[in-house]
Amino acid sequence: MIADWLDLTLEGHASARGMGRIPSGRYEIVAPGVLEICPDDSGPHARPVVISAGIHGNETAPIELMGELIAGLESGHLIAGAPLLLILGNLPAIRTGERFHATNLNRLFRRTETATAISVDAGNAAAGKANDCPADDEPARARQLMAAVDDFYARFPPADGTRRLHYDMHTAIRDSHYPRFAVVPFSEGEAISPSQWSILSAAGLQAVLHQHQHSWTFSHYSRHYHDADAFTLELGQVHPFGENDMVALAPMSQLLAALAMGIEAPSAAPERMAYFKVEIELMRRSTDFRLCFNDDVANFTTFTPGTVVAEDGEAGPCTVGDTPLSVVFPNARVEIGARAALLLAACEPPQVALASDHTSSE
Ligand SMILES: [Zn+2]
């Protein structure tokens, strides 16, 4: 019963291994909190999909979305039609309702110089095969999850003309002018498939933020090492289990269902979303540093030209130039040399090819 898998995993009682059947395919627990679903028959738009939640343990709405998906597949309400890897990220932190234990898991998805792709068994061995990783060992969990993704993507290559996919689902700590937004990891490789913009728009995403440099997040891992269409999706604000606004997330739930079934995902005009690129990465340079706005300012708050947004004893004031800038992820209390905020400029929607790519997989 895979519906139990989620509850048992959250309670810390799930077995680390196991397999069985759902009405339309097979499932296998490949590592603690990592469930693979393989369909009996592929849907017409099947792509190998990684869906992850709980990389930050206190972000519960994505776990509820995953629960809905699993319940649908188990009951036969959803017909499996694409290879699916479902991941619950930081298990000890999820159980205690904390963002993380020792360190932020979502900065650790980087291969070491000696390791290229690692087998899932090696990753499990590194993490302690039969058990969860120790609560304070986020680096071991990152290695285990990287191995699981490597193994999954190696066994399920995408069909010609399509790409692998990874949605890493989160919720944000602070309020936001755009409660649901996608962060696109930086890549020197292929551009994101154009159809993704209409798909994310239909799923209720309201804004898109293009990263300007590598950051070793889980979605970046899939994009950088596997050329996947990969995103960090911020899906509203952090709330405890049962207090999430799942109505606002119904379109996202529909998207996940379409991916699991390998059918065409709903689409909407990409122009419905606002697009931003990083203009300034605001760094803290000295002890004498402050942000010149309230601590609880919402993400995407916009500052007009001439506004002083930060003052630093070494770097001096940071003033908005001719273009209005919007702030995300501000934090004045970072270490010296670390990022205190991103300042964004609005940009044009990506060019959506006239011959849309979501018919090319047929
Ligand atoms: Zn998060």
Q: What is the CATH number of the domain that holds 181?
A: 3.40.630.10
Residue 152 in this model has a pLDDT that exceeds 90: yes
Give catalytic status of residue 68 as yes or no. no
User: What average pLDDT score do residues 297-314 get?
Assistant: 96
pLDDT of residue 7: 87
Single out the residue in 272, 288, 320 at which a domain terminates: 272
Q: Are residues 113 and 93 in the same domain?
A: yes
Half-sphere exposure of 221 (CA within 13 A, CB side): 27
Place of tokens 């490597």: 150
Those residues with Cβ within 8 angstroms of residue 182's Cβ, 6 or more apart along the chain or in another chain: 200, 205, 207, 208, 209, 231, 232, 233, 234
Residue 12 in any domain: the answer is: yes
> Is the Cβ–Cβ distance between 46 and 161 less than 8 Å?
no
> Is the Cβ–Cβ distance between 172 and 237 less than 8 Å?
yes
Q: Are residues 241 and 110 in the same domain?
A: yes
Q: Tell me, in angstroms, the distance from the centre of ligand 1 to residue 190's CA.
A: 25
Residue 127 in this model has a pLDDT that exceeds 60: no
CB atoms within 10 A of CB 286: 12
Extract the annotated binding site for Zn(2+).
56, 59, 170
Q: Tell me, in angstroms, the distance from the centre of ligand 1 to residue 314's CA.
A: 31
| 188 φ, ψ (degrees, to nearest 5) | -85, -5
pLDDT of residue 10: 87
- Quote the radius of gyration of the chain (alpha carbons, Å): 20
Q: Of 198, 182, 222, 268, nearest to 48 (Cα)?
A: 222
Q: Are residues 196 and 52 in the same domain?
A: yes
Residue 26 in this model has a pLDDT that exceeds 60: yes
Q: Tell me, in angstroms, the distance from the centre of ligand 1 to residue 55's CA.
A: 6
| C-alpha dihedral sign at 273, 217, 84, 3 | negative
Distance CA 165, CA 230 (A): 6
3-state SS assignment for residue 146: helix
User: What average pLDDT score do residues 152-179 get?
Assistant: 94
| C-alpha dihedral sign at 327, 250, 3, 27 | negative
User: What is the percentage of the chain residues whose pLDDT exceeds 90?
Assistant: 77
Tell me the per-residue pLDDT of 176-197, one tens digit each, with 9 for 90 and over: 999 999 999 999 988 999 999 9
Q: Are residues 191 and 314 in the same domain?
A: no
User: What average pLDDT score do residues 278-287 get?
Assistant: 94
Residue 44 in any domain: the answer is: yes
Given pLDDT bands bounded at 50, 70 and 90, which one contains residue 121? low
Q: Are residues 26 and 158 in the same domain?
A: yes
Q: Are residues 73 and 170 in the same domain?
A: yes
Q: Which domain holds residue 306?
A: 277-347
Q: Are residues 63 and 166 in the same domain?
A: yes
pLDDT of residue 128: 45
Structure tokens at 47: 């792509």
Q: Tell me, in angstroms, the distance from the centre of ligand 1 to residue 111's CA.
A: 21
Given pLDDT bands bounded at 50, 70 and 90, which one contains residue 55? very high
> Is the Cβ–Cβ distance between 216 and 224 less than 8 Å?
no
Residue 260 in this model has a pLDDT that exceeds 70: yes
Residue 149 in this model has a pLDDT that exceeds 80: yes
Single out the residue in 272, 303, 326 at which a domain terminates: 272
The total of structural domains in the chain comes to: 2
Distance CA 171, CA 341 (A): 18
Distance of CA 217 to the CA centre of its chain: 8
Given pLDDT bands bounded at 50, 70 and 90, which one contains residue 161? confident
Catalytic residue among 36, 68, 138, 234: 234
Residue 360 in this model has a pLDDT that exceeds 60: no
Given pLDDT bands bounded at 50, 70 and 90, which one contains residue 350? confident
- What's the predicted TM-score (pTM) here? 0.90
Q: Are residues 85 and 151 in the same domain?
A: yes
- Report the range of poorest mean pLDDT among 62-66, 97-101, 231-235: 97-101
Q: Are residues 169 and 114 in the same domain?
A: yes
> Is the Cβ–Cβ distance between 288 and 340 less than 8 Å?
no
pLDDT of residue 295: 85
